[in-house]
Amino acid sequence: MNASRATSVHDLRRMARARLPRAVFDFVDGAACDERSARANVDDYGAVRFVPRLLRDVSHTSVATTLLGAPAAAPIAIAPTGLATLVHPDADRVLAREAARAGIPFVLSTAAGTALEDVAAVGEGRRWFQLYVFRDRSITERLIERAEAAGYDALVLTVDVPVVGKRDRDRRNGFTVPLRLTPATLLDFALHPRWCLDLARHGMPTMRNYELGDLGGRSHAEVVGALYDPGLTWEALAWLRARWKGPLLIKGLLALDDVLRAADHGVEAVVVSNHGGRQIDGTSSTIRALADWGPQAAARVPLLVDGGIRRGSDVVAALALGAQGVLIGRPTLYAAAAGGAEGVRRCLDILVEEMHLTLAHLGAASVAELGRHCVEVEARR
């Protein structure tokens, strides 16, 4: 199937699975341990039941909104995804360009496979920079300086990786950064000639915003564990504020008291996230967290949410439960693998189309009309 003919994110995932080596697909698709949290992120949207109001004028619907005080054509941002160049050699720039075309923000990962300056050079568009804090704070300071110089609009501090989760798929596949060639991976790669041709043309994907040094060729967990600071605390926010003058978001909070504490620290928004289930297994899904306390928290600080979004109706459900917008990660990676820019464009178009349809069926002419009255949520079992 050509990516332009995909009718759902699920179609794009199937295409990505066929086109990527197993180790690469599993790195994108996999999660921690038994992957219960990753499945719950998706499945728990099924616990949200819409309550349509009919005989309303929905001859025109609008998904336009405001994110971080600026207009967005849809309440969606493309989430930060490390090593996206594994699925497509120019994935980071493709994602940035397609986000700009769609009128939505793009968030570049600290662990991107393309230097942040090169992504900024693609042209107009809203770009945010996702930041991990390193044990060596000078590396973090330099990243902040570079993001500011390159014109990134906001900083997204990710705090849910005190240590790296145990990802069984990656361990079974011997996933390393950069990828290490072994008899097993060579056979896997050989069965995916198009991907191998990209590799031959563009070189082995790796992290481009900082130097790996003697960590190259180690497991992803070993690389991250050696570099990122497990001693990060709330006091780091003042340290960051002294170095970054633009909007600051915290990504990775699931507990209401943490969200309220972030509000007390004056952050511009919180991204409710469990890192796609990739760090700790067994957490609440993000949509369940919103259902529990979304409107209460949203009264204090703007909320974004990520994890498990596969349909435009999922976006609508998240907004009804208190989010201002959502971040999508895996869907756009599936799409980039399936068809590059065309795939990403199709992915975003599918989600926006499904949002319009859901609004019309709910009797809402715009996302501004969404609220808790639009949904019922099944009790936890």
My answer on whether omega of the bond before 178 falls inside 30° of 0, hence cis, is yes
Name, in order, each residue with C-beta under 8 angstroms of 253's C-beta and a sequence gap of 6 or more. Answer: 159, 160, 259, 262, 270, 271, 272, 273
Q: Rounded CA gap, 174 and 221, in Å?
A: 11
Asked if 88 is an active-site residue, the reply is: no
Of 280, 254, 252, 274, nearest to 165 by C-alpha is: 280
The H or E element spanning position 328 is: strand 325-328
Contact partners, residue 19, CB within 8 Å, separation at least 6: 192, 194, 195, 337, 338
Residue 282 phi, psi (nearest 5)? 95, 5
Distance CA 319, CA 326 (A): 8
Catalytic position from the list 275, 356, 361, 373? 275
Task: Output the 3-class SS for 14-62.
Answer: HHHHHHCCHHHHHHHHCCCCCCHHHHHHHHHHHHEEECCCCCCCCCCCE
* Cβ-contact 331, 310 below 8 angstroms: yes
Question: What's the helix, strand, coil split of the chain in %, to 5?
Answer: 50, 15, 40
Query: What's the first-to-final CA gap in the chain, in angstroms?
Result: 38
Which residues are designated catalytic? Answer: 275
